[in-house]
Amino acid sequence: MSTLLDIRNLKTYFYRRDGVVRAVDGISYEVGERESVGIVGESGSGKSVSMLSVVRLIGGRGKIEAGEVVFGGRNLLELDERALQDIRGNDVGFIFQNPQTSLNPTMRSGPQIAEPILWHGRADRKRSFERAVSLLEEVGIPAPASRYRNYPFELSGGMKQRVMIAMALSCEPKLMIADEPTTALDVTTQAQIMDLLNRMKASYGMSTVLITHDFGLAVEFSDRIVVMYAGRVAEIAPTREFLNSPRHPYSIGLLENAKMVRGRLDTIPGQPPDMTRPPSGCRFHPRCSRATDVCREEDPGITRISDDHSVSCWHHDA
């Protein structure tokens, strides 16, 4: 499988009065052509920041401090803003976390889909309108020509998310990044949205990255799983191998957490660390039952245990 996206030693920090937040702290992984990758982990693990860094949409006090993001043979971190704008929404589509706030409330929904088509010179105004209406129909919105003129506030939460998906697909990207695409949706609508994403990735033949804290969604959607914890990669493995043989204690905890036990979900003991003062050694050691002195003192780095399976743990073979 050819590599489409190659992230190498990426570091993104946020500078606050109380210290430096090492939100993403030296992560590396690849996304192959037509591959689906699920990035999982707790809130604050760096999942969303890592993908926002890919398209350099880090605002506020954030700064990409180091690394490379190679997409289609070019390092996106070295491109000027104009060249990067040619890639955003064109070669890389992004479904943002909350359609309630991501859509422009003062602009009708259809033109928000047509806008990137016009911006990137994919079609003239008439054909971009036709493409937008076609996409609304494709993502399952009834009466698409009529809905084209609706403002976001006139649409349900599920319809807003479908509009976001249509926007991401508008220029037929090579890579689609979906950041928590089912947030704030009811269970039925969540299932419909994930079914839609599965059909779209097959129809368009694109690579996809799903960012989620819902391990079950990641397993159903992804060919490969990337587990993040405290700004670093804990484990990377093909989905089936990950399910059969997780090696990192945190990954094992996530799997257990996804299983219903006596009507409730198990939890991983402890809390994620303060990322202005992350623990030395392995960042999971304060919560880990396997932890020994070496875990507390030395960073385990990444160990490759098979061609496609890597883990960051001193005791991965325990």
pLDDT at 262: 40
| Tokens describing residue 122 | 């994919």
Tens-place pLDDT, residues 150-193: 999 999 999 999 999 999 999 999 999 999 998 878 889 889 99
Domains of the chain as residue ranges with CATH: 3-79+217-311 (3.40.50.300)
- Block means of pLDDT (10 residues each) for the chain, 318 residues, are 95 95 97 97 94 93 97 96 93 90 94 94 91 96 96 94 94 96 87 93 96 90 97 98 95 81 59 94 96 97 95 92
Residues shown for the chain: 318
Q: What is the pLDDT of residues 91-100, one digit of tens each?
A: 999 998 888 8
For residues 159 and 162, what is the distance between their CA atoms, to the nearest angstrom? 5
How far CA 49 is from CA of 12, 72, 218, in Å, comes to: 8, 21, 18
Cα–Cα distances in Å, from 314 out to 31, 80, 256? 26, 41, 21
Which tokens belong to 259?
Answer: 């299983």
The span from the CA of 133 to the CA of 108, in Å, is: 13
